[in-house]
Amino acid sequence: MGLKVRHIAVRFALLLGIAAVVPLLAYGFVSLLSLERGTHDSIVAGNRNVATRAAEEIRRYVVTNAALLKALAADLQDTGLDQRQQDQILKNYVLDFREFREITLFDEAGGVVATSRIGSPRVSIPKDKGIVIDEVSMSPIRVDDDLLPTSVFAIHLTRLNRPSGWLVGEFNLEEMWRMVDQIRLGEHGFALVVAPDGQLIAHGDPDKKALIARQRNMTAHRLVSAVRARNDGGPSSEEYVDDAGRTELGVAARIPQLGWTLIVEQPTDEAYGSARQLQRQLVVAIAAALLVMIAIGYLFGRSFITPILTLKRATHAVAAGQLDTRVNIQTGDEFTELGDSFNTMADRLIELQENVKKTERSAMFGRVAAGLVHDLLHPIQNVANNTRLLLREDLDNEGRQDCGRVIDREMTTIKRFLDDLHSVVKPKPLERFIMDLNLAVKDVVDSMSQEGQRSGVAIEGAYVPGSLMIVGDRFALGRVFRNLITNAIQATEAGGRVSIATSRNGKTVEVNVTDTGSGIPADKLSSIFEEFVTTKRRGLGLGLAITKRIVEQLDGTIAVESEVGRGTAFTLRFPARDTESAQAAAS
Amino acid sequence: MGSLFTAIEHIAPTKEGDEIEISFQERSPLLIEAMEAPAIRKKGAGGGTGPFFMTTSSATGMQANPNYYLGPPAIQQIEIARYDSVRSAWADMLRERVDMLYDVGLDALDSLEGSSNIAVYRFIRKFQYIIAFNSAARVLQPPEIRRALNASIDRDHLVKEALHGHGVASTGPLWPQHWAVGRGTLRPAFDPEAAAAAFGAASTESRGQPTIRFTCLVPADAVYGRIALEVKRQLSQVGVDMALQEVSLEQLDHAISGRNFEAALVEGLSGPTLYRPYQLWHSGGVFNPGGLGNKSSDRALDALKNAKSDDDYRVAALGVQQAFLNDPPAIFLAWTERARAVSKRFVVPSVESGRDVLSTIRLWKPPTGDLRASRN
């Protein structure tokens, strides 16, 4: 029963799953995939954008400082300043522009004209022009006395289209570090700058500035080679594991004018952190929606199944005979209507039951009345007829004696009938004695032979030799056998036969009453021992009920086998009491 | 204790034997403050009473004092490396060749502070940048010229531009947080117009030419250079031509002690006691190389030395400030913010804000199992 409920629940859960959960999960899965892919692409694109812009800022920074030196050169040239003034300008310049650690003005022969330094100049006219930025040459990155990278800007001055000297400035890469320090991606994303020869010249990570001092060559960095291999000059991005074993999302952008490469590194944990957080939030949201849906489904399913369970319980109660069971379903939907219908049905069942009882009582009364009429009419008519004969004066003595015998016999019949009725209403206690069943059966068979002859039915008795001792009530057993033989005679057409046989089977004594009559239909065979059940057209149907009750009171059993058209066989079994019989005989 | 050492009458243990008694011939608050200064050790003698003392076998080594009264330090030996410039030392710190920088340059501060491998401890040094005058130099002899020079300098601007904000404008020769100085600090006012007028009045030069010219010796260091250039620029705006001459530290010491200079940009130890400026500026001071100070400052500092009470001491401190304002022997520029950098391979106890982290060096220790911290 519970399994059925579960089946309903499972079906409902499946319905809910198919209708809502599965689509939601599918939606969530697709959303997560697209979110991951989309955010990954957008983060990489964002970092590429940052790297590109940062590269441009660094380029502009360097170019601007080159322009500053060029502007200074313009200030110094053709303005008629004396050496002291030029010297003062240079000193003020390095104070105002920290990017230049030193600026020195040389004449064409290499002699020092003016310098920002208090002492002797440290810079000299570069022999290698390096790259040229708007007439300002920028030397390749070199290592200074402190083994830190540095670069030198130089402008070849001209006067009247003739070389007139050099303005040389030492470009402070450490000042550029401040700018690189400001290029940040999240908390742990830093930028680094690589010179054309692979030398690391700036690193935004404070912990990795030591790499600059150690003159780390970054040529082997996969992004350096990747971005340099690109023909379109665009940025390159890759994920790789750094020296610390951390997976980094790196983006490299070239600064073509300087030949530098700018790399922006960010740990993937951080780069994709927000996306992963979004994913987690989405998973939580989907899970929450799923739980809410399941909860709603559970509540809805419960409200759906509860009326069904209520109706089921009520139905079982009604089936068990509790017709006063009613349901109270207030869901306001079809279940309420179904509950009301159930209650109406139960009310109607009570009415029908009452009607059936009335009908049954009427039928029973009819059957009892008919049985009384049937069973009593003939004896009473015989009594009445013979009584009228007795009143006639012309009846001789022999006739009078015959009438008296008939009246006596019919009165006996009436009495027996009334005794049966009485037995049904108030069973008579049995008087148990050791008795010989053979004799009891033989007496009844003999007494009913004439009745059989009148009906054209042969009554045959077959008795096991010797005595069959049982504990019984001779009178009650006589009624049992008379009932069975009477029924057999009534069920047997003239010419038929009724056989009564006794036998012993171990410790059991058996009596078989067999007829060749019409037989009992199989569907009625199980109820023939019930009161007021009969297969005959007339009669109260009490005989077999009384018979069964008496047999069972004597610790016996009665069984019936019948086949319509061939006859019926009753088998009665009683415990044999030979030992008591012997003791009784001895005493 | 320098010249004050002569004031000691006797030193004797107490009867209990666990203390010593020092008797002075005269009463002076400076004697108590002189205890702050480390004892001058005879060269090559070794020994000491601090947590570390110089080893006799090496001029650059220090070893732990196992008998230090607060317990032996966790570090057994310290090797000191000398660098020509702060930048060079910083570069070696980056290379992890040294475990501590005694002095982090201003240029390096920003680069080191963000590092997770190096801890940087800032503090205001008791040193200040000063341009000391040689009172014997003719052009700087008039007090009004020296007062005008002091009034020419915008110290806040100097700190911002030359020190990148890592410093505090100077108020005079005395440590402003000294209890005897308090809030009554006298400081030279920045008044370039008055200064220019003073210079103009003293000038004998023709128009368009600087009225005052003198040469300032500048140690060969980037920070000194920037300060010198900034001062030069500010002075030039009031008509003073301060020529700069780069010198080594040895040359500088030699020039000052020989009074062979007009002005010199130096760092002078001026705190945390008044004993320090006394010894620096008094003509008889043990830290005075010989050419610093003048008669006015000597008189004011003597009053400080001879103060009989705390109140006298406060009055004398005020007198010193006033004397230095009236007859300034130098341009007091800025107290310097400095930093020590210590590798995080050491566990360093936290110190109070502004206090020198070196004060806890005896408690420094490398993490367990890493007994040799440096990689050099």
Q: Average pLDDT, whole number, for chain A?
A: 85
The structural architecture, per CATH, of the domain B125-335 is Roll (3.10)
Q: Where in the sequence of chain B do the CATH 3.10.105.10 domains occur?
A: 125-335
Does B94 contact chain A (CB < 8 Å)? yes
pLDDT tens sequence across B317-339: 999 999 999 999 999 999 988 88
Helices (DSSP H) in A170-255: which residue ranges?
173-181, 209-213, 222-229
Is there a cis peptide before residue A427, judged by omega within 30 degrees of 0? no
Residue of B nearest to A208 (CA): B115
Binary contact (B87, A148; C-beta < 8 A)? yes
Task: With beta carbons less than 8 A apart as the criterion, state whether A566 and A546 touch.
Answer: no
Which structure tokens are listed for A151?
């670069």
Binary contact (B225, A213; C-beta < 8 A)? no
User: Which of B118, B110, B123 lies closest to B373 in space, CA to CA?
Assistant: B118
pLDDT bracket for residue B153 (50, 70, 90): very high
- Res B217: pLDDT: 95
Residue of B nearest to A203 (CA): B111
Residue of A87, A103, A146 to mutate, testing the B interface (most B Cβ within 10 Å of its Cβ): A146
Binary contact (A92, B229; C-beta < 8 A)? yes
pLDDT tens sequence across B95-152: 888 989 988 876 677 777 778 888 888 888 889 999 999 878 888 888 999 999 999 9
Residue of A nearest to B245 (CA): A118
pLDDT bracket for residue B373 (50, 70, 90): very low
Binary contact (B96, A210; C-beta < 8 A)? yes
pLDDT bracket for residue A454 (50, 70, 90): confident
A507 contacts: CB under 8 Å, gap ≥ 6: A575, A576
With contacts defined as CB-CB under 8 Å, which chain A residues touch B161? 95
Look up the ipTM and state it.
0.78
Answer whether residue A542 shows pLDDT above 80.
no
Helices (DSSP H) in A97-231: which residue ranges?
173-181, 209-213, 222-229
Compute φ and ψ for A233, nearest 5 degrees.
75, 5
Mean pLDDT of all residues in A122-143? 87
Residue of A nearest to B92 (CA): A213
CA distance B304 to B315: 8
Binary contact (A120, B246; C-beta < 8 A)? yes
Higher pLDDT, residue A42 or B376: A42
* B245: nearest CB among A118, A177, A210: A118
pLDDT bracket for residue A539 (50, 70, 90): low
- Res B353: pLDDT: 73
With contacts defined as CB-CB under 8 Å, which chain B residues touch A88? 232-233, 236
Answer whether residue A472 shows pLDDT above 50.
yes
Does B208 contact chain A (CB < 8 Å)? no
Mean pLDDT of all residues in A211-232? 86
Residue of A nearest to B113 (CA): A206
Q: A73-82, B117-126, B178-187: which range is least confident on average?
A: B178-187
Helices (DSSP H) in chain B: which residue ranges?
29-34, 86-94, 106-113, 143-151, 155-162, 192-202, 222-236, 249-257, 275-281, 295-305, 310-326
Mean pLDDT of all residues in B184-210? 75
- Res B375: pLDDT: 42
Rounded percentage of chain A residues whose pLDDT exceeds 70:
94
Residue type, B127: F
pLDDT bracket for residue A6 (50, 70, 90): low
What pTM did the predictor assign?
0.64
Would you call A460 helix, strand, or coil by DSSP? strand
Residue of A nearest to B164 (CA): A98
Q: A35-39, A117-121, A449-453, A515-519: which range is least confident on average?
A: A35-39
State how far the alpha carbon of B193 is from the alpha carbons of B152, B172, B213, in Å: 8, 21, 18
Which structure tokens are listed for B96?
């992890």
* A88: nearest CB among B117, B230, B236: B236
With contacts defined as CB-CB under 8 Å, which chain B residues touch A92? 229, 233
B131 contacts: CB under 8 Å, gap ≥ 6: B149, B216, B231, B263, B264, B265, B266, B330, B331, B333
B146 contacts: CB under 8 Å, gap ≥ 6: B133, B140, B327, B328, B329, B331
* B110: nearest CB among A178, A207, A210: A178
Does A120 contact chain B (CB < 8 Å)? yes
Task: With beta carbons less than 8 A apart as the criterion, state whether A72 and A89 touch.
Answer: yes
User: Which of B173, B176, B165 lies closest to B336 in space, CA to CA?
Assistant: B165
Does B236 contact chain A (CB < 8 Å)? yes
Does A246 contact chain B (CB < 8 Å)? no
